[in-house]
Chains A and B, each alone.
Chain A
Amino acid sequence: MSVITTHLPAVRRGEAAYQALRRQRRRASLAGLGVLAICFVAAAWISEFYPSSLAAGLPRIGEYFHRILPTLHAPVLFAGVKTEGSLAFWFYRLDSWLLLLLQTAQMAALATLGGAAVALLMAFPAARNLAPSRWLHHLTRRGLEATRTVPEIVYALIFVWAFGVGPLAGILAIGLHTAGALGKLFSEVVENAPMQAWDGMRASGANWAQACRYAILPQVAPNLLSYALLRFEINLRGATVIGFVGAGGIGQELYQVIAFNYYEEISAIVVLVILSVMLIDLLSERLRHRLIHAAGAR
């Protein structure tokens, strides 16, 4: 049977075409893999990622992370602060760390608030459907783009010079980046809003600002709030590390603890940071779901 079918010309042609396609695809994947391998080797060479340095580094990494982990003894786990091996001994400066975490959360909240306020003002001129003039539209768009492409840490480095070491520099740095990022999202929400209310307001003699306030804002407010909450979660993560460059919050403490090799304190602070980020994420997710439901119900 198979002997007969393989000798049919149509089958042979089909088989040849299949083999040719297969060869071509194989060649294409091999070429892709080759390019990838070249990029990989070039990247390894540029970033000094040699097997020798990796082999020398890996044991030290293991040792370092082993040292960071706390020594806990099960029998005295819940003993007082003075007993080595207890949870209280591990978190012996819990009160000051919690205060710093609160400060960090407050920095994130203030930065989100300020950034969202600026973004709200910029969103209306930056939205294509509302912009009073093309010129203003492009100006605000490019301005928002420029503020959000520069990372927070770079802003923080500069602001520490201008405003001095401390939380103010961090708040302004995160806030500026937030204004750019939220401004884009806000203007997109505004662009998607139905325009009937706007047309009605304008037709009955409302000026531009009044129409923005009474026709567009009530429609988009729940969405904007939900984006702002999402940004607050992101900013909390940002605020925990912005202290590395001296801009306040728990990051400053973490930087010192890592720099001075207080091994067990590193893990204690990192655990606290993870827990608080998770807590805020949970709370904010709840709130966002309620907001979205409230928006859907209307």
Chain B
Amino acid sequence: MTLTPSAIAAWQAREPRAFGTTPAVRALRWLGAAAFLAWLAWSFWLFDITPTRLWNGFAGLMTILRLMIPPSPGELWMDILKGMAESVAMAFLGTALASLVALPLGFLGARNILTASLLRFSVRRIFDGMRGVDQLIWALAYVRAVGLGPLAGVLAIFTSDLAVLAKLYAEAIENAEKRQSEGVIASGGHRLHAIRFGILPQVLPVMLAQALYFFESNTRSAAILGVVGAGGIGLQIAERIKVRNWDEVAFIIILMVLTVGAIDWLSGMVRQRLIGRREATRY
């Protein structure tokens, strides 16, 4: 069976898309590519990104990198170690306080505990609004309110985590099995008994695991809160960059990476011991 050219033409007229891209699609693609290139050129112009600027910048960066080797702790190495400890302490304290306060808030926000939907709705909207503000913005505001130092950092971590933790805790409580608390009620327990013996044992491991994850991520962010004056290692690194002690900057960066790795490892061990391997991988 052979196809005549006229039959092919007829099929092409009927099913144009089976014969490759149509001119209309091709034109649309070209238009899209052109618009993208125009946007790229415009933003390069807007941000004044030129080859010479990039070249000079990279040359400067190479000089900085050369000055970073070998990394050295410098003379004030005690301050660096103290700053690192301060960062970890800030992260721990902020997370611990946030999870303590988030626990009752989570119960308030959970659908199966608090049945007044208007109150629950407004609590959740407040959580959402707080979640949209970056930790660094909180830190800057707290530095203005309570002064320079780690207290501002602890408060910033506490505030920005409170909302997220409360939301996660509320979800954990909503996902808890009903049967246990129904059993407690059926055998004559109070509603508070039902929460304590029916719900809390189910959700506590999940909550602890989440608090540990937040501790890990807060160690990373506590390391940079000092850049705006909220204490910790960030202050040390910002000061050393200001006076261009690049070898000490490199040392601090390496110390930061090692500490974060150590905290991750430690918290993973604790999580596995507390709740077992299965749940640790689930959350």
Contact = CB atoms under 8 A, between A and B. Distances in A.
Interface of A: 36, 39-40, 42-44, 46-49, 53-54, 56-57, 60-61, 63-65, 68, 103, 106-107, 109-110, 149-151, 153-154, 157-159, 161-164, 166-168, 171-172, 237, 240-241, 244-245, 248, 254-255, 258-259, 261, 266, 270, 273-274, 277-278
B150 A110 contact: no
Contacts of B58: 162
Given A61-B146, A150-B257, A245-B227, A161 B244 contact: yes
Nearest to A270: B133
Nearest to B58: A162
Contacts of B86: 46-47
Contact of A168 (B53, B137, B220, B237): B53
Interface string B240-252: 0100100001000
Interface string B50-69: 00011001101100100000
Contacts of A151: 220-221, 223-224
B136 A244 contact: yes
Given A149-B257, A159-B57, A162-B61, A110 B151 contact: no
B43 A106 contact: yes
Given A61-B145, A64-B145, 17 more contacts: A47-B90, A47-B231, A48-B231, A49-B154, A53-B151, A57-B146, A107-B47, A149-B260, A157-B227, A157-B238, A161-B60, A162-B64, A163-B57, A166-B48, A244-B140, A244-B228, A254-B137
A258 B53 contact: no
B151 A154 contact: no
B53 A161 contact: no
Contacts of B184: none
B144 interface: yes
Contacts of A43: 88-90, 92-93, 96
B79 to A, nearest CB: 14
Nearest to A241: B136
A270 B47 CA distance: 24
Contacts of A63: 145
B46 interface: yes
Given A47-B154, A103-B46, A154 B57 contact: no
A4 B238 CA distance: 76
A8 B253 CA distance: 67
Contacts of B257: 149-150
B282 to A, nearest CB: 19
Interface in B96-151: 96, 129, 132-134, 136-137, 140-142, 144-147, 149-151
Contacts of A149: 257, 260
A202 to B, nearest CB: 26
Interface of A is mostly: helix
Secondary structure of the B contact surface, majority rule: helix
Contacts of A171: 47, 49
A162 B93 contact: no
B85 interface: yes
B155 A46 contact: no
Contact of B146 (A47, A60, A68, A273): A60
Contact of A241 (B85, B89, B137, B145): B137
Contacts of B198: none
Given A162-B61, A166-B48, A274 B92 contact: no
A171 B86 CA distance: 30
B143 to A, nearest CB: 9
28 contacts: A40-B93, A42-B89, A46-B89, A46-B150, A47-B151, A48-B150, A49-B93, A57-B145, A64-B144, A65-B145, A107-B47, A110-B43, A110-B47, A149-B257, A153-B227, A154-B253, A157-B237, A158-B64, A158-B249, A162-B58, A166-B47, A237-B134, A241-B137, A244-B136, A244-B228, A245-B227, A245-B238, A274-B133
B134 A159 contact: no
A93 B279 CA distance: 51
Contacts of B54: 163
B90 to A, nearest CB: 5
A273 B43 contact: no
A254 B221 CA distance: 20
B151 A54 contact: yes
Contact of B141 (A46, A64, A167): A64
A278 B150 CA distance: 30
Given A42-B89, A47-B86, A158-B249, A274 B129 contact: yes
Nearest to A255: B140
Contact of A162 (B57, B223, B224, B231): B57
> Which of A57, A68, A154, A172 gathers most chain B CB within 10 Å?
A154
Contact of A261 (B88, B144, B154, B237): B144
Contact of A39 (B47, B92, B136): B92
